[in-house]
Structure 1
Amino acid sequence: MAAALLLLAGCGTNQAGTDQASTNQASTAPAEKKTIALFLPESKTTRYEALDRPLFEAKVKQLCADCEILYSNGDQDAAKQQQQVEAALTQGADVLVLDAVDANAVAPLVNQAKQKKIPVIAYDRLIAGIDYAYYVSFNNVRVGEMQGQALLDALDARGTTAKGEIVMIHGSPTDPSSADYKKGAKNILDGKVKVGREFDTPDWSPDKAQQQMEQAITALGRDKIVGVLSANDGMAGGAIAAMKRAGYKDMPPITGQDAELAAVQRIVSGEQYMTIYLDIRAEAEKSAELAVALTKGAGPAAPVTVGNGTAQIPSFLLDPIAVTADKIKDTIVKDGFYTADQICTAEIKPACVKNGIQ
C-alpha cells in the first residue's frame, strides 16, 4: 500500500509539472504574424511607386515590425488586379488596402473579403456598391473647385477670359475621383468660360492627353485656346508637349494635381500655372495606421462618412492645397515633400531665385 501511494504521488507530481510546462509554453508562444495587402492601380502617375508605396510600408513597419506587407500594382489592368486581390486572399491577408483600377467593378472582390471577415480600406478611390471598413482620400470635389478657380483667376488676370476657349482634360472614366474633380471644376467654370473641347482620358495617360491636346489645337486653332484645365500633372505634361510641338512660345495657364517633381519644375519655369498639392504622406500614413489597427481587431471612429450608393463609408478626407510658383517654398519645400535642391536644377535656378525658393 505504501509503495502504491508513493507511485500515485509521483504520477500526480509529474502531471502537475506537465500542465505547468504546457501553460508556460502557451504563454511564451509567439503571436501569429499579421499580413496587410496593399494594391495600387498604376505606375504612369509617378506618385504611386515614388511616394504612396514607400510611405505606407514605412509607417506599417514603424507601427508593427512583425507585420508582413503584400504589395501589388495593377498596371491599370482591372483583370490583373482581380487576380492580385484573389491571390492575397488565398495567402491569408488580414487586411486589404485597395486603390482600385476600376472602382465601380471591385465590389465582388470586397464581398469575397467580407465573407472571409477580412476588412477593406478603400485607398484614394471610393469603391461603390458595397459596405467596407474605411475610405481614405482627399476632398475630391474641392480639388476640382480649386483647379477651376485657379484657372479662372489666371484668365481674369490676363484679361483673356472672354477672348477664347479652354480645353478640359479630365481623368479616367473608371476612376470615381475623376468625376468628382470634373464636378468641382464645373462648379466654378460653368457659365464663366467657353469650353472648346473636353475629354475623358483613359488610364490617366499623359500620352493620350497629348493626343487629345493635339486634336483640340487642330480643331480650335492655336490662338483660340486661352487655358487648359488638366486634372493631374501627368496629363498637363502631355498637353504641354503637344503645345510645344504646335509652336507655342508663351503657355496659357494650365492646371494640374499631385505636385509631381517635373510639374513643380514646370511651374517654376512658367510652363505650367499651378498644381494641387496633396499631402500623400498623410494619406498613406493614415491608411497604414488604420490597417494596423484593424489587424488587432480595433479601428478608430472616422470624422465623416461618404455615401457610395449603397452605404455610408467611415471616411478620412484630407485637405488639398492649391500651389502656384509663389507658394512652393511655404508648402512643398516647407513640408519636406521636395527639397529646394531637388526642384532647382541649373536650368531653372534663376526662376527659383525669383520665386524665393533658393
Structure 2
Amino acid sequence: MRVRNTVGRARIVGALASMSVVALGMAACGNTNTPASSGSTPSSPMGSSTGGSAGAASGVSVSSFDLAFSAMSQLKSLTTAGKGMVGVILPDTTSSTRYVDFDAPFFKKAFEAAGYDSSQYKIDNAQGVDATEVALAQADIAKGASVLIFDPLNSTVGSQVQSYAASHGVALISYDRATFAGSKTYYVSFDNVKVGKLIGQGFVSCVDAWGVKSPKVFELDGGQDTDPNAVSFAQGYNSVIWDKSTTPLPAGTTNGKGWVLVGDKITPNWVNATGATIFTQQFTAHPEINATVEANDGLANAVVTVLKSKGVGPKKVPTTGQDATIQGMENVLQGYQCGSVYKPIYLETQDAVAIATFLRAGQAPPKGLINAVTNPPPGVSGAPQPASLLTPTWVVGSNMNDTVIRDKFIVAAALCKAVGASACSAVGITP
C-alpha cells in the first residue's frame, strides 16, 4: 500500500510522467497506458513454465488472497521442492509504521502458512540507509538466497540491488516500487493509476455531496521528484478530474464542468510539513480555493490543519488521500476529508510470497498471479517487467467498518476515542 513520506530518495527523471502499467487483456488504466497484445503473457524472468510440483498452486491468483491467508497452504508442495532462502528487505521504520506493524508480521505469517521453516526466509529492514539496503541484499545472497523481495529506498539502490542479484543468478521481486535495471525481476504492488483514479472519483463525488459551488481547485501532489508511484497517482486523478493524464498541470486548466485549477504543486520527498507550507502560501495568495486534491492522508491532514487554523469548518473544502491512516479516518468521520484509498498490506505480502515460492522452485508464476506489465518510461533504460497488481478500495464512512476496521488495520477503540462514540455509531462502528 502506500505513499511513504520518503526522504533522501534519488531524483526520478521527468520522463517518469510517461511510465505505464499495462493490464493484460484489459483496457489501459489511464491515458498514457497501452493495452497488451491480445492473449499475450509477460515473459518469465526464470524462463521456465509452471508444472511439476506446482500442482494446486497453479490455481493461485491475485484474487485468491484473504485475511485468513488460506490460499498460502496451496503452495506447500512448491515450498518443499524449492531451494535456497527467500530474503525480504524492507526500507525503513520511520517513514511509515506499516513496515513494523504490518509488512514484517504479515510476511512472517505468509511464509509460515506456505510451509516455510524459519531457516528458509529472512526479514530485515534497511532503516532508511541506502548502503544498508544494498549490504543486506548482498548478505542474503551470500547466505544462499535464491529469491529477494525488496522495497527499494530509491531508484539508485534499486538498480544496484537488481544488478547485483542478476549477476548472481538470483530472482528479484520489487515490492511496492518498480525499478528496471535487472533481468530477473517481478513487480508486486497495487495498481497505482487506479489508486489515483479512486482519489479523483472520490473528489468529484465529494464536491457534489458537499455542495461546493464553482470549484476553484488546488492540487497538492506527492513526491514526484523522487517517487515514480507519485507520478502514476497524479496521472490517475488528473485523468478523472481534468481529462488529462499529464502532471503537474498548469494553473488555469479547466474541465467540462467549468472547474478551474488554481494551482498544482509537488511536495518534494512527500514531506508533510513542506506540503503545509506550500498550501499555506497558496491559500493566502488564492483565498478563492474551495476544493483540494491531495495524494495521501499525510498531505490531506496538513491541508486540514491549515484550513482549521483559518476557521474553515467541516464539509466546506474537500480534501482527499490514501493509506487509510487513523488520522485520515478521523478526518473522514469529522467531515474534513472525502475519503482515502485503502491498500490491504496482507494481500501484498501474500502475493509477493506466492510469486517468490514459484521462483524458488524454478517455476514460472501462473497467469493468474501475473496480470500486468510495467514499462520503463521513455529515456530510462530497462526492460518491461511482469507485474502483479492488486486492487485498492476507496474508503468513506459508509464502508469503513467493513474494510479497515474489519481487517484490524485501524483499531476501532482508538478511532472512536479520537472522534467520539456518536461519530462511530453513525457509520456502524462499535469500539
TM-score using structure 2 length: 0.69
Count of matched residue pairs: 325
Q: Which runs of 5+ in 2 are unaligned?
A: 1-81, 243-253, 377-381
> Secondary structure of the equivalent of 2:109?
helix
**Quick one: which of 313, 318, 322 aligns to 1:249?**
313
Identity, % of aligned positions: 26
- 8 Å CA contact 2:221–2:230 kept in 1: the answer is no
2:290 counterpart SS class: strand
> Partners in 1 of 2:141 and 2:285 — Cα distance?
49
Bigger Cα displacement from structure 2, 34-43 vs 192-201: 34-43
Greater CA deviation, 254-263 or 38-47? Answer: 38-47
CA distance in 1 between counterparts of 2:214 and 2:170 reads 54
Question: In structure 1, what is the equivalent of residue 295 of structure 2?
Answer: 231
Secondary structure of residue in 1 paired with 2:154? coil
Partner of 1:138: 190
Give the whole-Å Cα distance in 1 for the aligned partners of 2:126 and 2:171.
Answer: 20
Aligned counterparts, 1:297-312, within 5 A: 297-301=362-366, 302-309=369-376, 310-312=382-384
Distance 2:239 2:274 in 1: 25
Q: Superposed, which structure 2 residues align to 1:61-210 within 5 Å?
A: 61-63=112-114, 64-66=116-118, 67-75=120-128, 78-103=130-155, 106-160=158-212, 162-190=214-242, 191-192=254-255, 193-210=259-276
Question: Corresponding residue for 2:49?
Answer: none
Decide whether the 8 Å contact of 2:325 with 2:410 is kept in 1: no
Distance 1:319 1:120, change over 3 A: same
1:292-311 CA distance string (max 9 Å, x none): 34333334224323132233
Give 3-state SS (helix, strand or coil) of 1:135's partner.
strand
Aligned to 1:22: none
Q: Which amino acid aligns with 2:109?
A: A
Alpha-carbon contact 1:101-1:175 (below 8 Å) kept? no
Matched residue SS, 1:328: helix
Give the deviation of 1:163 after TM superposition: 4.0
- Cα distance in 2 for partners of 1:55, 1:347 equals 29
* 1:214 counterpart (257, 266, 280): 280
For each residue in 1:100-142, what CA deviation from the matched residue of structure 2 results, as whole angstroms up to 9, or x when unmatched?
2223662232011011011110111111344333211111111
Distance 1:40 1:83 in 2: 12
Return the match for 1:59 from 110, 135, 157: 110
Equivalent pair of 1:42/1:101 in contact (CA under 8 Å): no
Q: Is the 8 A contact 1:165 1:195 kept in 2?
A: yes
Distance 1:60 1:283 in 2: 13
Distance 1:70 1:321 in 2: 28
SS of 2:195's equivalent in the other structure is helix
Sort the Cα spacing of 1:316 and 1:33 in 2 relative to 1 into closer, same or farther, 3 A: closer
The whole-number CA distance in structure 2 between the counterparts of 1:115 and 1:300 is 22
Cα deviation digits, residues 222-244 of structure 1 (max 9, x gap) = xx222221111122222222323
Alignment partners' CA distance in 2, 1:98 and 1:316 = 15
Instruction: Give the aligned partner of residue 38 of structure 1.
Output: 89
**Structure 2 counterpart of 1:240, which letter?**
V
- Alignment match, 1:15: none
Larger Rg: 1
Task: Tell me what 1:316 maps to.
Answer: 388
d(CA) in 2 for partners of 1:258, 1:89:
32
8 Å contact kept, 1:131–1:312: no
Check whether the contact 1:37–1:93 (CA below 8 A) recurs between aligned residues.
no
Could you say which structure has the higher helix fraction?
A: 1
Let me know the Cα RMSD of the aligned residues.
2.5
**C-alpha separation in 2, matches of 1:238 and 1:83:** 36
Distance 2:217 2:194 in 1: 23
